[in-house]
Structure 1
């Protein structure tokens, strides 16, 4: 049977377990027959209504937190784009026939995202395993064992919830420290002298997804030259922040004495070899000569910089790309290339969080960036940076860090 002959709407309705679809606004978009039957709601009482309107927490019982826990799980799925399996939850469900009376239910939910073509979460799949009958079994020795099982399951569920909450709090504290470390180690805009430049850093959504990316701008020795670079460290959190700081400092020092960007990356690769956590890190650096109107560049496994010409044409600097730092057991000299620019052009360096989306070819992200840069080709660096982030990043934030640096030439 081919996909064209399968009635997937009928399959959804006939699924044996409880399954509902919610919008990112937590409004019920659909539900199968089992969900309607087990929840005691009709389609009219469910579809196009908000989660809390259909299933509010019991206002008479402060320990009734099932729906609030469910909302937190759904919002985690929206933020991360990853499925979330919840511990067993106790819910108080208001009776339709007897408003104001609440029925105790035990549900084990799993929530999963449905991604649209642009990688954004467009729907939430809410699947529920109904275990109330098992938990509430009564009578005889079987019932006694069920009551013991109920107490054990409920106790374990509460312990897991408390542990998850402590972990989230610890992650939040680590995120705050990592962000402070990021701010301290990356150059502020005022450090960029007379160059018309703008920098942006957007941490990924999620508690620990921060501090893997970095940017740098440094005055080079000899002539009217600057070095502009970005890089990406594999991993997140404080460990990645520490590695990021070491690599950025090493590249800054190497750029000041290297004859070109390729040699600077050669030195950085050798340094990365002795830094734990620097494996597979990527970086791209450009040496901009304002007297000769040239950009010399070299990339270690990083997305290519974009040169926005004054006529709006976007040239991706992709003619000197090599594997990531420390990717080769025996390093060899890296390639570099050179291109010319005219006054008024702009160079844009960024990390992969700006262009990569789940299930999408990287070329699509590069095309989207080129279109955005052409549309705003005459904007000053600050306005251009704001426009790029607004148009390129998903409304709810990206699932990877994003660093961006723009220099008007």
Structure 2
């Protein structure tokens, strides 16, 4: 049992609340008053440091070659943990071993249990060649606790057969009665020769014309008109999207960061910032993946370098909260709470509330952090993470040797709708 005293907890206003928190693997009690403890309880004096939830990234793209899977998982999840990201979802575009069956889930579980530094949830795939049993197989995956089914068009991976928009429509109809969540990435390759913002928008429109009540998520949107379109229809259709943190860095801190992904945010920067400020950007993702040789579909499925995991969460706090005065509660929603809701793991993750897992970070706003950007620039960010906790145990932090306490994470509930207003803040 551990007791944190004198911690600063965010509220829905700009003010902080000075609290004490009792926890073991889960948070037991939070109070502004003294909390009675048993003999032997470890006391941790936060000395006013800010207590924030560990970051939740809904989709990294780690897995590729089977031969390097263990090293790739360990390296990337360790970098994520040290950057304050305590939970991730693995959505594999290029894996040699797709997740088609419950047996595949078990294999990935062993992989994550033995090598991940973060809690790691899993997106599954659809084997359309298994017709007419593919829909039943998808439901079996959902019952095994995956956080959703990843659909891609055109297929970037020869291990996952091409699925047409008509077949996607049929799949939606086949599993209409469940709350199974989907992710879709791609473009309308039936009517466009290559990826473009318009081609992606046309694909999203096709998906929306076919979807039923199932939640659907677009893992990366890099065009402002597409953001506006999705926000316009999101109350009629349960659709959400993510913006890559690197894309934000490239437009809000252009002197230090670049993105190699097509992105038009600079053309509408004031309008984009207004959406950020007013809590209309649902969530952020690192979109991390390993470098790959170029393919015909590389642009739409291209990820970001793993190195940015070390400072992306801090960058959000430094640039958006401290520098541009975006409410801290909004930053928390974009980096943890909303992703946890969408993955069906809230309030177990992405929350600082009794009953939630004790996954959190201590943030010191008075000691700045220093990094070297991918372009070789020295970057100073306001604040630093002094300690990272997973299930009640410190696993990373200042002058602390990083520990591996990650494991496979199953979905604990159904995904929350995008406009779900429940919050711990």
TM bin, normalised by shorter chain, reads under 0.3
Greater Rg by CA:
1
Calculate the TM-score normalised by the size of structure 1: 0.27
Calculate the TM-score normalised by the size of structure 2: 0.26
Decide which structure has greater helix share.
1
